Structure 1
């Protein structure tokens, strides 16, 4: 008899159940993972090249230099900074450190796809709360908190709808939630937002708040997997105990440090992506394609029952989108060529409709 995996895994899907397939001719644009369409910043690329010469060495068990730089940047103690292979790596640390079988995890839905996976793998019960008009329904989420609730996951701005909850609503929510409940605030897209709350300020006032950020999106380091977070010492110490030793590569550390030193370059890159986002959204709305405002590097198209049909059309045009059957499509803002192709394909789809 062969070993049998834990039965809880029967309810856990693969992270992307149906990955898009590129066209046979190889012409495609990856618009389904919210990647930065541009390579790392020029100064960062130079540092990556230098760091590659040390790839035969193990990185530090915990990246001390990066932790120190992040702590100085955020104005927090080094002891409060945690790191991981992308922010999703820190979610796994949260699950191992904080969740017991039978606990409940409350989160909005649709939101970051890792939420139910993280909960189920820990043996906890996912408690999804529907969005209201594409935004976290914080009042409804607070009502779903019970004595069994161990954690609440918030994605702000939200993936996939691109919406932010606002300071007033989030402050009221944190006041309503018991201090014994962990609140994980995921700010993966904060660099693209003009209205999202600064989670670090919330962590200072609420000891149950953990803030997660990443170098994957705005900084263009998705392939190097560098995420970080801040939490009060009792929580950060527990998360560090559950971190994979040497989990952030040496090349990733050097790239992240170089990125922190390249703020003017980053500001220009973010401005380019935001301008492209607004241009793409305006072009789609001119063609009667629903495209609500977004605080991220992607657009959410609430297409309802047409989601699969339109995603298939885009895929045939070499445009790989993230589909949410019966709800909508998430489209990453891409290069000018990719965005022009999106406009042309959707113009055709909606003109036919």
Structure 2
């Protein structure tokens, strides 16, 4: 069945064993998308969408007060539904990521909307339905979305060498490709593989060779989803986007929340071949990206903004190194060597039992709560995840924030 709205492919793509029409649920392939008013016309006297023709009623700030960002947004046509396709944003993203065209770009309300959409279009729910595969420790929303959609989850733990707590060595994570392949062989109902690269909470890149090995694996007929929320903090040239133009069975997720510093506007990105992008477009809500979000996103993607963004990435990289060195100085108080890699904007360190080299979940929880409730420093407890016993995840802050967290952590550790 042809995909509605998709032009015929000009060339065959790898891998030969992949057929997207066999991956997408039949009801989704047969779906006639909702056609919204702005799909047809966006200029003229617009009396087609039952909007409020008199405009919004939000008052501006006092004329004596400085112009706020909210006031800036008030000049937009907030009483009109937004453009459902946002071609300028997609064009800028395609250029930034080296993709052939905007047809390779989908925009979602954060990456979480894209994760949910991928499950809904690819994975049949129910006890006898399809499954996804995840590689713990990893981003928790994959399993949450699976549960919401009544989808089965298969887990293949990341390989952990030098696990924290064993001789004080730092853990290192990698995907067990052979085990993933064995799991696929044993369970052909797996439709999606979710790989987080750089990982959360591992902070570790997954090699392009490992990703390519799964894309080329003939028994797997589904889609490899590579979540690259933190990719701009990693070494250049490490993104799986370089595989998108070559492979039809990969979908790369990115976001403006992390490196662009725009977590509040909730803009997620899917990068894939036009066939999958068109299916996601056919299935999404009619106006999922708001006008204020789109306006700020386009500004963030301007040349001047990109220069500033990259400058901040360099500063955060420097602070990441400095934070790691300062945490190492707290080893006598029970801070273990950071585990995982340094490819994201955070570090994960185990809190050890007093006078021991064993990671201590109880002490880590006490440190976490004391920092938040008594010292005003909020980090993330991650001790319940595979390979992360006793661990706290600390986001790289500003230079001043990093100095404060080290001082407060030292004070807290000395007390317990």
Same fold by TM (over 0.5)? yes
Question: Which whole-Å CA distance do the structure 1 matches of 2:202 and 2:311 have between them?
Answer: 25
Rate the CA distance shift 1:115–1:300 in 2: closer, same or farther, 3 A. Answer: same
Residue 132 of structure 1 corresponds to 159
Does structure 1 residue 331 correspond to structure 2 residue 394?
A: yes
Residue 41 of structure 2 corresponds to none
Does structure 1 residue 105 correspond to structure 2 residue 132?
A: yes
Question: Which whole-Å CA distance do the structure 1 matches of 2:109 and 2:148 have between them?
Answer: 18
Does structure 1 residue 218 correspond to structure 2 residue 275?
A: no
Does structure 1 residue 285 correspond to structure 2 residue 328?
A: yes
Question: Which whole-Å CA distance do the structure 1 matches of 2:110 and 2:280 have between them?
Answer: 14
1:179: Cα distance to partner? 5.1
Residue 99 of structure 2 corresponds to 75
1:349: Cα distance to partner? 4.2
Does structure 1 residue 260 correspond to structure 2 residue 298?
A: no
Residue 36 of structure 1 corresponds to none
Question: Which whole-Å CA distance do the structure 2 matches of 1:184 and 1:84 have between them?
Answer: 15
1:190-201 paired onto structure 2 within 5 Å: 190-194=231-235, 197-201=238-242
3-state SS in 1 of match to 2:173: coil
Does structure 1 residue 319 correspond to structure 2 residue 377?
A: yes
Rate the CA distance shift 1:308–1:172 in 2: closer, same or farther, 3 A. Answer: same
Question: Which whole-Å CA distance do the structure 1 matches of 2:383 and 2:81 have between them?
Answer: 43
Question: Which whole-Å CA distance do the structure 2 matches of 1:330 and 1:196 have between them?
Answer: 26
1:204: Cα distance to partner? 1.9
- Give the number of aligned pairs: 309
Question: Which whole-Å CA distance do the structure 2 matches of 1:219 and 1:152 have between them?
Answer: 26
Rate the CA distance shift 1:193–1:48 in 2: closer, same or farther, 3 A. Answer: farther
Does structure 1 residue 295 correspond to structure 2 residue 343?
A: yes
Superposition RMSD in Å:
2.3
Residue 14 of structure 1 corresponds to none
Residue 186 of structure 1 corresponds to 227
Are the equivalent residues in 2 in contact too, given 1:189–1:297 (CA < 8 A)? yes
Question: Which whole-Å CA distance do the structure 1 matches of 2:218 and 2:102 have between them?
Answer: 27
Question: Which whole-Å CA distance do the structure 1 matches of 2:246 and 2:287 have between them?
Answer: 31
Rate the CA distance shift 1:76–1:285 in 2: closer, same or farther, 3 A. Answer: same
Question: Which whole-Å CA distance do the structure 2 matches of 1:172 and 1:150 have between them?
Answer: 16
Question: Which whole-Å CA distance do the structure 2 matches of 1:271 and 1:95 have between them?
Answer: 35
Question: Which whole-Å CA distance do the structure 1 matches of 2:101 and 2:68 have between them?
Answer: 30
Question: Which whole-Å CA distance do the structure 2 matches of 1:128 and 1:48 have between them?
Answer: 44
Are the equivalent residues in 2 in contact too, given 1:183–1:209 (CA < 8 A)? yes
Are the equivalent residues in 2 in contact too, given 1:108–1:136 (CA < 8 A)? no
Per-residue CA deviation, residues 82-110 of structure 1 (Å, 9 max, x unaligned), is: 11011111111112211111211111112
3-state SS in 2 of match to 1:127: strand
Question: Which whole-Å CA distance do the structure 1 matches of 2:246 and 2:412 have between them?
Answer: 49
Question: Which whole-Å CA distance do the structure 1 matches of 2:405 and 2:174 have between them?
Answer: 28
Question: Which whole-Å CA distance do the structure 2 matches of 1:47 and 1:185 have between them?
Answer: 34
1:197: Cα distance to partner? 2.6
3-state SS in 2 of match to 1:109: coil
Greater RCO between the two (CA within 8 Å, min separation 6)? 1
1:48: Cα distance to partner? 7.8
Per-residue CA deviation, residues 211-256 of structure 1 (Å, 9 max, x unaligned), is: 1111111111110011111112221111112212221111211211
3-state SS in 2 of match to 1:320: coil
Are the equivalent residues in 1 in contact too, given 2:99–2:245 (CA < 8 A)? no
User: Given the two structures, how large is their TM-score scaled by the length of structure 2?
Assistant: 0.69
Question: Which whole-Å CA distance do the structure 1 matches of 2:273 and 2:84 have between them?
Answer: 21
1:28-67 paired onto structure 2 within 5 Å: 50-54=72-76, 55-67=78-90
Question: Which whole-Å CA distance do the structure 2 matches of 1:51 and 1:277 have between them?
Answer: 34
Q: 2:188 aligns with which of 138, 147, 152?
A: 147
Question: Which whole-Å CA distance do the structure 2 matches of 1:46 and 1:202 have between them?
Answer: 42
Stretch deviating more after TM superposition (138-147 or 270-279): 138-147
Are the equivalent residues in 2 in contact too, given 1:161–1:300 (CA < 8 A)? yes
Are the equivalent residues in 2 in contact too, given 1:138–1:170 (CA < 8 A)? no
Are the equivalent residues in 1 in contact too, given 2:371–2:412 (CA < 8 A)? no
Question: Which whole-Å CA distance do the structure 2 matches of 1:198 and 1:170 have between them?
Answer: 11
Question: Which whole-Å CA distance do the structure 2 matches of 1:151 and 1:87 have between them?
Answer: 16
3-state SS in 1 of match to 2:216: helix
Residue 12 of structure 1 corresponds to none
1:47: Cα distance to partner? 8.6
3-state SS in 2 of match to 1:310: helix
Rate the CA distance shift 1:58–1:154 in 2: closer, same or farther, 3 A. Answer: same
User: Given the two structures, how large is their TM-score scaled by the length of structure 1?
Assistant: 0.81
Residue 272 of structure 2 corresponds to 231
